[in-house]
Structure 1
Amino acid sequence: MAGPEGRPFLRMFGQWRENPVQQLWPGFPRLATTDWLEPLADGLRSIDRELLMDLDATGDAERTNRAFDDFLATLEPRQACSSVE
């Protein structure tokens, strides 16, 4: 995103800044950076709920614990694919 191919998009987002003189889209910076939080929270709650239902139905704590550990492993930070120029 920060490389040459992504710079036009970064400039575009910079133009949507909140400025009393130039308000292209009031509240855009906050909305653009927080609108994903509620769907994320809903998804995380559904994973918990499904694993608890699975545990209740099967009694297989080892398998549901392993599934939860596998899920947590997907949240671990990964190495960046490319360097910022």
Structure 2
Amino acid sequence: MAASITPREEVDAILTSIAPRKQPRQAITMLPPTEELDEKLLVVSFDGSARVKSSGGAFSAVVWSLPEWTVISAASKYKTDLT
């Protein structure tokens, strides 16, 4: 029975040749949105869940006006025909 030790430099060279190439992370530059003085901006948030066994589910929604974050409308309901 024979045994040998492969030098570390050779192991690194072999692993480099078979290792998947890593792509550098790409930085995405995105400018923040701007608001004109005459624009009316709204943010809508919705969350809900539907039940599979018994048709129906609950949901909530909120509408805000920007830039003050004033609540325009808010609702939370249960609907029997929600899927």
Fold conserved between structures, TM > 0.5: no
> Which TM-score bucket, shorter chain as reference?
under 0.3
TM-score by length of 1: 0.21
Whichever of the two has the greater Rg, that structure is 2
More helix by share: 1
